Amino acid sequence: MELTEAIDAFTRRAAGARGLAPTTVRAYRGDLDRLAAFCRERGAERIEEVDLELLREWLWVQTREGAAPASIARRTAAVREFFAESRRTGVIAVDPAARLRSPRPANRLPRTPTRQQVASMLDALAVRAEGGDAVPVRDLAIMELLYASGVRVGELIGLDLGDVDRGRRTLRVLGKGSKERVVPYGAPAAAALDRYLALARPVLEARAASPSPALLLGARGARIGARAVHTMVAERLAAFPAEGPAGPHVLRHAAATHLLDGGADLRTVQELLGHASMATTQRYTHVSIERLKEGYRVAHPRA
């Protein structure tokens, strides 16, 4: 079978029967398309022609070109999953990626703004929203919900109106692996959301050709996209320069860290964020400890 044909079949299964998140499927597709282009340059156009040495060369070239260990690890995982699935479905008889290994990604602490920085961002956006323009009112609701609930951007933009319980202040989100969970949000987010639903959403929906069930609408009245949310949040974060990527995930990091700073237990934060593994949630304890140590160094006379 042609390698590109096998990749097409794999991504269709990933999006369909396996129920992977669209962002995961797109990431898999991008990584596998890179592999296919590399193999084509080496004369291997069929999936049966790909062997372990060719895969190792692919990783080595990426390392030489300066790809980050985390990127290589992600691409390796995509390739291993692709060939394992191809073996299970009988497309190939032998899995060439079974012994493929990648560098262990560095355990870097996530970029996390302080409580004061988050408050400043939200206050500045609230001032912009006071004029009643639909987009700033919507943007404030987005920022408040991201920080209040700790949801992923894909989970947020996937919400429909029926997924919000305004009485209980909860959101019913569909997370990774199509796992559903209910997450709470607080009073400031509730106020921003209520104002958006009353004032801004009707204005945005009127711009669409047909009504949408989506909770959050874009400038043209359709469901807002992840890129638009990412751009908006990155613009707000630009006022607080720091190392690491800037986008909606930063507010997820902030929500988790500030919860732990405030005394929440790990299990609660794990359930809120929808982490399958406690080890993923434990990263945020390191951020809290570093904050504690920094506060000690600054404040204690004999630090």
With residue 63 as reference, give the H or E element that holds it: helix 52-64
Which one is catalytic: 29, 176, 283, 286?
176
Residue 212's nearest CA partner among 226, 200, 222 is 222
Across-strand partners of 180?
A: 174
176 labelled catalytic:
yes
Q: Is 164 helix (H, G, I), strand (E, B) or coil?
A: strand
For the sheet containing 170-174, what is the strand order?
Answer: 164-165, 170-174, 180-184
For the chain, the straight-line distance linking the first and the last C-alpha, in angstroms and rounded, comes to: 65
Which residue type does 74 have?
A: R
152 labelled catalytic:
yes
Which one is catalytic: 249, 283, 286, 291?
249
Residue 150's nearest CA partner among 179, 183, 112, 119 is 183
284 labelled catalytic:
yes
Residue 188 corresponds to which tokens in the numbers above? 């400031």
249 labelled catalytic:
yes
145-161 exposure pattern, b = at least 16 Cβ within 10 A, e = fewer: bbbbbbbbbbbbbbbee
Burial of 172: CB neighbours in 10 Å, binned 0-12, 13-18, 19+: middle
Across-strand partners of 46?
A: 2
What does the DSSP 8-state code read for residue 196?
Answer: I
Residue 134 corresponds to which tokens in the numbers above? 């639909």
Which one is catalytic: 75, 111, 138, 152?
152
Which one is catalytic: 75, 80, 252, 258?
252
Distance CA 136, CA 120 (A): 16
Which one is catalytic: 28, 147, 196, 284?
284
Point out the residues that are catalytic.
152, 176, 249, 252, 275, 284
